[in-house]
Amino acid sequence: MRQIEVGAADGSFHCGSIANPISVMEAEHESAGNAVARLRELTGGFTPDAESCNTHRALLAGLADFESDLHRHVHKENNILFPRTLARAGVN
């Protein structure tokens, strides 16, 4: 992607088109999103019970932060980086 960005590559690589690894990463994003959604479901929305210890509360807060970071990462790649890279490589 960096090579395409600076004009040092045309979008053809050992794996074929740059679209191939991008589609793999998009599938990984979907899988990770599904896994975190399942964690959210299993933990009641990352909400601790009234009697939860501080360690459990910290774990749930950390999971909520992770989910937020993951969503931000996936958004940046899927909606900004990947489309821009594909457009610069001339791949639809």
Residue 8 confidence (pLDDT) = 60
% of the chain with per-residue pLDDT over 90: 70
How far apart CA 3 and CA 10 sit, in angstroms, is 8
Q: What is the pLDDT of residues 33-68, one digit of tens each?
A: 999 999 999 999 999 999 999 999 999 999 999 999
Show the CA angle centred on residue 41, arms to residues 29 and 58, nearest 5°.
Answer: 90
Smallest CA-to-CA distance from 33 within 75, 4, 1 is with 75
The residue among 92 and 66 whose pLDDT is bigger is 66
**Residue ranges covered by each domain of the chain:** 2-89
Find how far residue 56's CA is from the centre of its chain: 25
HSE at residue 42, side-chain half, CA atoms within 13 A, is: 8
